[in-house]
Structure 1
Amino acid sequence: MNDVMTIARQPTLYIPHGGGPCFFMEDPRGMWTEMAAFLRGLPAMLPEPPRAILLVSGHWETQGFAFTGSAAPSLVYDYYGFPPHTYQLTFPAPGDPALAARAARLLEEAGIGAHVDAGRGLDHGVFVPLKVAWPEADVPVVEMSVDRSLDPALHIAAGRALAPLRDEGVLIVGSGMSFHNMRAYGDPRALDPSAQFDAWLTEATGKTGPSRDAALGGWRAAPAGAFSHPREEHLIPLMVAAGAAAGPGERIFGGEVLATRISGYRFD
């Protein structure tokens, strides 16, 4: 009899995390309803419950990559002007210092600078969407920063180095927004260019190998690319998720929010 337990390979995801603590506020127009339903459905999309979640947030930029190393990470309420109750949200998911150390080591072995930050908490790009998807907060979470260079090729390479974690039950998630032009949100004139970029991004993520790397690396030259991301920190987590998977990306969420097209992707 073989008593060795088989662990299913986890996919990688790129998810929208909404606007601030949007899912925990009154929403009379139902603006965030569709996105919240998508996030709640994430556990059912997986082959089995993840052993841990490694989430790359566009809200943490460092020199080289960093990983939260606390066993009980605090929360960073890095949003402004929202109702008082949103600064009392809790998400007591445990950290995973061993995973943080292993992830940093995998990057260092690939020649990519990385370190563990034991004092850093989880920002809202992490705890807001995960509180919707895993409200029980029973899955260990490690946050990964983006390198402040925001270099697509570097982040794709980082994802490639982290790929072995998928076979260890770790779900790698990029958290951002596929359209992130703060001045354009809510402007009806933004819908068409955001849709152009959305269509391009879906096609680009559906490629594999070097062709996908080249396409994503040239995102700024895409239709409405620079308009969709005047600064790309919310797009860059996608590069890590794509780099950690060899298979083509699949669009698993598509919706219209604040007069813009927003998408989410899965890579196998």
Structure 2
Amino acid sequence: MTLPTLFIPHGGGPCFFMDPAGGPPDPMWRPMQAYLAGVIASLPERPRAILMVSGHWEEPELTVNGGDGHPMLFDYYGFPEHTYRLDWPSHGSPAVARRAVALLEDAGFATKEDSTRGWDHGVFIPMMVAVPDADIPLVQLSLRADLDPAVHIAIGRALAPLRDEGVLIVGSGMSFHNLRARGPQVTAVADAWDAALTAAVTDPDPASRAAKVAAWEALPHARFAHPEAEHLLPLMVALGAGGDGPAVRDYADHVLGWAVSGYRFG
């Protein structure tokens, strides 16, 4: 069975785990938490592994984290002390990592492996919600530091065979990510951006969809929504890996005054 691919929002820092007693998050984050908690059950079958691209890892050359289990990389700042003791003790999958490297190299992408880097919060925070028992192995793939959207769509296409091998391909980022613009005064612009992005992402023609999303900077308010592109680029990988199948928005909400969406392909 062919698995879909996903672009998920990973929230802000450790937003789902701010209560040291383990209580629910701020009400603002609860719809996102509920969406993430239902992701695995929504799939046609439980994946044997996850390959995730996070907006928090860039390398000059595509890099696959090929180890078997990783420490947490606490790459957020200024949060309560207990949030630096969070853990998601899942295993990696060296076999899936090797397969990903082979697919990428066959497509002409220079690729290297790193078996020691920890999972950044773009990985472990949403996975603590989506896979709380940490019982699905995970492989992380870096972004390429040039952040070229067409290249990252092509990277996704190269990885697409994994979908038929029980591997769930996930892009983890945020559809709106301007940390200097928050609150209700931002919402109208964020809504306009979100509508334009969603129209591009869900274009029923796969070629048109890819072309529009690759040209995302031409969409209304693009550089306001993403002064830097790294939180949007995981979307490109998920879209490319999704192939010619349907594309839908399967999550939509507002946080921090931002319109935030998640997408499913294939």
**Scaled by the length of structure 1, what TM-score is found?**
0.95
Q: What's the offset of the Cα at 1:209? A: 2.4
Secondary structure of the corresponding residue to residue 102 of structure 1: helix
Q: Deviations over 1:113-151 (max 9, x none)?
A: 211111111100000001001100000000111000000
Secondary structure of the corresponding residue to residue 146 of structure 1: strand
Could you list the structure 1 runs, at least 4 aligned residues long, displaced by more than 6 angstroms after superposition: none
1:250 paired to 2:248: yes
Secondary structure of the corresponding residue to residue 178 of structure 2: coil
Mapped to 2, the partners of 1:91 and 1:29 lie a distance apart of: 21
Secondary structure of the corresponding residue to residue 75 of structure 1: coil
1:18 paired to 2:11: yes
1:202 paired to 2:201: no
Contact 1:17 1:175 in 2 (8 A): yes
Q: Deviations over 1:206-252 (max 9, x none)?
A: 12322111101111110111110000100000000000012131000
Q: What's the offset of the Cα at 1:29? A: 4.6
1:166 paired to 2:163: yes
Mapped to 2, the partners of 1:197 and 1:227 lie a distance apart of: 9
Mapped to 2, the partners of 1:185 and 1:162 lie a distance apart of: 35
The equivalent residue for 2:106 is 109
Q: What's the offset of the Cα at 1:28? A: 6.9
Secondary structure of the corresponding residue to residue 90 of structure 2: coil
- The partner residue of 1:79 within 76, 81, 90 is 76
- The partner residue of 2:97 within 96, 100, 113 is 100
Mapped to 2, the partners of 1:161 and 1:29 lie a distance apart of: 39
Mapped to 2, the partners of 1:29 and 1:99 lie a distance apart of: 36
Over the aligned positions, Cα root-mean-square deviation in angstroms equals: 1.1
Mapped to 1, the partners of 2:13 and 2:101 lie a distance apart of: 28
Q: Deviations over 1:36-83 (max 9, x none)?
A: 000001011100110100000010000121111111211101000111
Secondary structure of the corresponding residue to residue 146 of structure 2: coil
Contact 1:69 1:120 in 2 (8 A): no
Contact 1:53 1:173 in 2 (8 A): yes
Secondary structure of the corresponding residue to residue 79 of structure 1: coil
Aligned residues: 260
Mapped to 2, the partners of 1:80 and 1:248 lie a distance apart of: 38
The equivalent residue for 2:45 is 48
